[in-house]
Amino acid sequence: MWNFRGKTKTKLMLIVGGACVAAGCGLYVVVRGDPSQVLQLDYTTLMSHAKSGDVKEVSFDGARIAGELTSGAHFTGEVPNGATQAALADRLAERGIAVRFASSGGVDPVQVATTLVMAISLGGLLFVLVRKNPGAFGTEARKAVNLETSPVKFIDVDGVDEAKNELQEIVQFLKTPERFTRLGGRIPRGVLLVGPPGTGKTLLARAVAGEAGVPFYAISGSEFVEMFVGVGARRVRNLFAQARKAAPCIVFIDEVDAIGRQRGGPSNGHNEEREQALNQLLVEMDGFDQHATIVVMAATNRHDVLDEALLRPGRFDRRVTVDRPDIRGRRRILEVHTRGTPLFPDVDLHKVARGTPGMTGAELANLVNEAALSAAREGREEVRMADFETARDKVTMGVERTSAVMTEPERERIAIHEAGHALAAFRLPAADPVHKVSIIPRGSALGITMQLPDHDRNMYSREYLESQIAVLMAGRVAEERMLGSFASGSANDIERATSIARKMVRQLGMSRIGPVVCLERGAQGGRGDFLSEYSVHTELRIDEEVERILSDGLRTAQEIVGSDARALEALRQVLLEEETIDHARFACVVAAAGLEAA
């Protein structure tokens, strides 16, 4: 016997299957004849041929007539209206023509053979396709991720110390389960990792498996949802069946909200399949033995939409928050991602961490990569601090549009606009310090004024939010004071200022309305409309308070710009000449103009 392997065997089976289908079709055509060669005879023509002796035989099948002429040609026809099959058969028999009647219970052996050949051929093709791509029908075997070739440990995940401390207990349970079970303890069956995208939830799950040295079965929640009903539930059963055989192990479901959303919404085929898969997941998690060493871990950034049954004790009963890192965490994350990157002595990772507030671990990894690419483009062997500055500006504000064609009046207006922002930020004590001012277009912005906080902010005071509004209004005020009008460039500033003012009134209680939350909730039944939880009178008061807060911010900006016209003009000239100034250069310009920080 020949021994075919791999792709050769698959191709051979496909060729053989296709040949069988073609042979079956050819056999049917040969036996049945080509329909285009069959004559269509009406009753008069048929009787004319019968009188002349040209008809060899005729068969009746209900009202249908089929037969063969003496010349070998085949013909078909119908019994005419008003005539009977028996009378017509008698007339033909009188002329010596063989007459047959089709039996309703008879079996056509040719048709059976042809159908059998085609069925076997199609079955063979289907078998080959299932063997080639078993996942299409939910029969695939989920393979454990090989953590030995690319081990991930807790040392590779930094900036999330609280989450790592909580997961250390899971590691100990997987290593020495008897330490907990001998006292009657039970480790949580499910651990839900909750946090913004890019904070390292998947990496943490892999690190738990790497520390414990157990198999790691990873799957996405969307893989359980298919167009075929029941496929998702079958995949859930297969996954947990494999996990029981490989225990102790970890089953990790990424983006669990794709399968675990709240049930009871509008019914359609997609939702029914998802809910079946979710129900099977709930049953499987309930089916664990009390001493089973299987831990189900899941990650999501939308825990608010998860079904309550999924979060009850006994299922995902432990929630671990993986939040954005603080400045110390960001520095440690930068140290992890720069281990294999040669750094120039002027690189200060603490300064880089301070300049990246709110960034996640994934964003910091991208920052380091962009800095390395910047150094490579310049042909350097080491990454410098300037590369990190360039990378941060590119990541946060977009690529410089140096090819953008701008007229001199437009450049002057942008310089005045950004000088107004910077001047207000310098004079307001609650505002963040100015880090960089530029009139080079980046992304969709024609100019930027970057402010960096001295420390990470976990909450915002009323004075800070009001100063933000004043800084946003100062660009428009500066244009109006120096040019006599303002342009559309302040549209985004007004939008952001309005958003801050509305949050102050409706969510934070920082207005004359008082400490009350005035929000809108979605209507029941899955509709897209919203229901207000406050009266029309309150809505009018909200609009009045938003207008008052914006007017106060505008008035503050007007006072600052009006009293510091000399500094505004100095900043305008420097920006037109140098286009971009950093914090030190900005401080020199305002000091030369006789200004001191408030």
- Measured over all CA atoms, what is the biggest interatomic distance in the chain, rounded to whole angstroms? 129
Separation between Cα atoms, residue 259 and residue 235, nearest integer Å: 12
Separation between Cα atoms, residue 442 and residue 449, nearest integer Å: 12
Residue 545 catalytic? no
Burial bucket for residue 438 (CB in 10 Å: 0-12, 13-18, 19+): buried
Separation between Cα atoms, residue 247 and residue 587, nearest integer Å: 63
Separation between Cα atoms, residue 208 and residue 211, nearest integer Å: 5
Separation between Cα atoms, residue 9 and residue 128, nearest integer Å: 10
Write out the two tokens for 588: 């020199």
**Residue type present at position 288:** F
- Residue 588 burial (CB count, 10 A): 12
- Residue 294 burial (CB count, 10 A): 22
Active-site residue, from 211, 363, 412, 418? 418
Pairing of strands 520-522, 530-532: antiparallel
DSSP letter for each residue of 71-116: TS-EEEEEPPTT--HHHHHHHHHHTT-EEEE--TT---HHHHHHHH
The stretches of 381-461 forming alpha helices (DSSP H) are 385-397, 408-427
ω into residue 248 within 30 of 0, thus cis? yes
8 A C-beta contact, residue 507 and residue 551? no
- Residue numbers annotated as active site: 418
